[in-house]
Amino acid sequence: MESDGLPGGVGIRPSPAVPTYGPSVEADIRLARLGRLAACPACPAGPTDHPGPRGPGSEVQLTMAFPADRPRRLRESAVMRDLMRETRVEPEDLVYPIFVVPGSGVKRPIASLAGQFHLSPDNAAALAKDFRAKGGRALILFGLPERKDETGSSGADPDGPVQAAIREIKSAAPDLLVATDVCLCEYTSHGHCGVLSPEGRVLNDPTLELLALQALSHARAGADLVAPSDMMDGRVQAIRQALDGSGFERVPVMSYSVKYASAFYGPFREAAQSAPRSGDRKGYQMDPANIREAFREAELDLEEGADIIMVKPAGPYLDVLREIRLMTKRPLAAYQVSGEFAMLNAAGSVGLIDYRAAALESLVGIKRAGADLILTYLAPEFLRWRAE
């Protein structure tokens, strides 16, 4: 009989009926049969990087996990499950995106996003007050301007819908945090997030000043936080410098640092009327296949002065969220985007899933993966469900 390589040449081999799992698991099975654990044959130098007490000379009595160990004990009653819960989503984790339009008295349902509206500043303020009264803590504003041009200049208009809504919301609900999305795509006639060269390339550096002016106009109107979503290189620094240069050093920047060129933005682009007229955003947003690049984006934004960084979308990128969580101790946000929300909604509305349960599960998953903040269209429903 061939030696099995165990110390002392014990000579027990798994029977052919026992499935094989690769060297270390197979060794565990054999050791378990022996009732003792010796050094792992795969890692003779020990300590090893797989679980279990091992190492040279160790002779540990092995406790067969089952029947002594039964994880179900801690799942049996609702109170026990409540006590054992590792992750909780709270109202202060959520940032609610809303869409602001010019005018007054406007409250138009957005066809692509169930339960969401185009709101004029007065109605945005009414919604904000109600949201705050129900326990909501933060909004992020997106604007649909009266007019669009090549350079998105209306984005920095002090009387634009976002700027007006900030003022009205801050007076209706002073302790609600008002964040703003900073980008050109809603304000440019071509729908790109930066200005274009004559050949139609998105020009990075000339865009920075326009973004900074827009961010500054939001801060001047009273925004508590600005959030650039354009993915131009250097924009965090440009915005930080513009804010600091005008006395807004206390206004934080939340950067959409790791933003993928995602198909899940579809419903938003209809809501914000911001789809590019030609081409796509792959020249500035990240390739969904990449994760190493995510570290680079996150690191650069932190170096440039971002106070909070973001991964977007959330659900299909939980691995990225996790990795960035492990990379930095700075606050981390995740955006559960329009397509994620719309899918939950569509599946729920035809009875394929339990909408509420699936929606809550999606939020807990994003938080568990590492998000401190979650931007989500589910925020008002979350508050309602909690109150029930």
* Distance of alpha carbon 26 from alpha carbon 263, whole angstroms: 44
* Distance of alpha carbon 355 from alpha carbon 158, whole angstroms: 40
Q: Binding of ligand PBG at residue 297 (CB under 6 A)? A: no
Q: Binding of ligand PBG at residue 202 (CB under 6 A)? A: no
273-278: Cβ within 8 A, 24+ apart: 273/144, 273/186, 274/185, 274/186, 274/191, 275/191, 276/185, 276/190, 276/191, 276/192, 277/189, 277/190, 277/191, 278/190, 278/200
Q: Binding of ligand PBG at residue 153 (CB under 6 A)? A: no
- Whichever of 26 and 301 has its CB closer to ligand PBG, that residue is 301
Q: Which of 181, 297, 301, 323 binds ligand PBG (CB under 6 A)?
A: 181
Residue 170 annotated as catalytic: no
Smallest gap from Cβ 232 to ligand PBG, in A, equals 11
* Helix, strand, or coil (residue 150): coil
Q: Binding of ligand PBG at residue 338 (CB under 6 A)? A: yes
* Distance of alpha carbon 281 from alpha carbon 286, whole angstroms: 9
Smallest gap from Cβ 269 to ligand PBG, in A, equals 6
Residue 386, φ and ψ in degrees, nearest 5? -65, -35
Among residues 185, 187, 169, 175, the alpha carbon closest in space to that of 98 is found at: 169
Identity (one letter) of the amino acid at 21? Y
Q: Binding of ligand PBG at residue 229 (CB under 6 A)? A: yes
Q: Binding of ligand PBG at residue 185 (CB under 6 A)? A: yes
- Which of these segments, 16-24, 117-125, 178-186, 361-369, binds ligand PBG (CB under 6 A)? 178-186
How buried is 374 (Cβ within 10 angstroms: 0-12 exposed, 13-18 middle, 19+ buried)? buried
Among 129, 312, 329, 367, the active-site one is 312
Neighbours of 251 (CB within 10 A): 22
Among 129, 134, 170, 259, the active-site one is 259
- Which of these segments, 30-38, 60-68, 180-188, 290-298, binds ligand PBG (CB under 6 A)? 180-188
- Whichever of 26 and 230 has its CB closer to ligand PBG, that residue is 230
Residue 312 annotated as catalytic: yes
Among residues 289, 333, 331, 341, the alpha carbon closest in space to that of 312 is found at: 333
Q: Return the residue nearest ligand PBG (CB atom).
A: 268
Q: Binding of ligand PBG at residue 192 (CB under 6 A)? A: no
Q: Binding of ligand PBG at residue 265 (CB under 6 A)? A: yes
Tokens encoding 326? 């492990």
Q: Which of 127, 138, 164, 193 binds ligand PBG (CB under 6 A)?
A: 193
Q: Which residues are catalytically annotated?
A: 259, 312
Which residues here bind ligand PBG, judged by CB under 6 A? 181, 183, 185, 193, 229-230, 265, 268-269, 281, 337-338
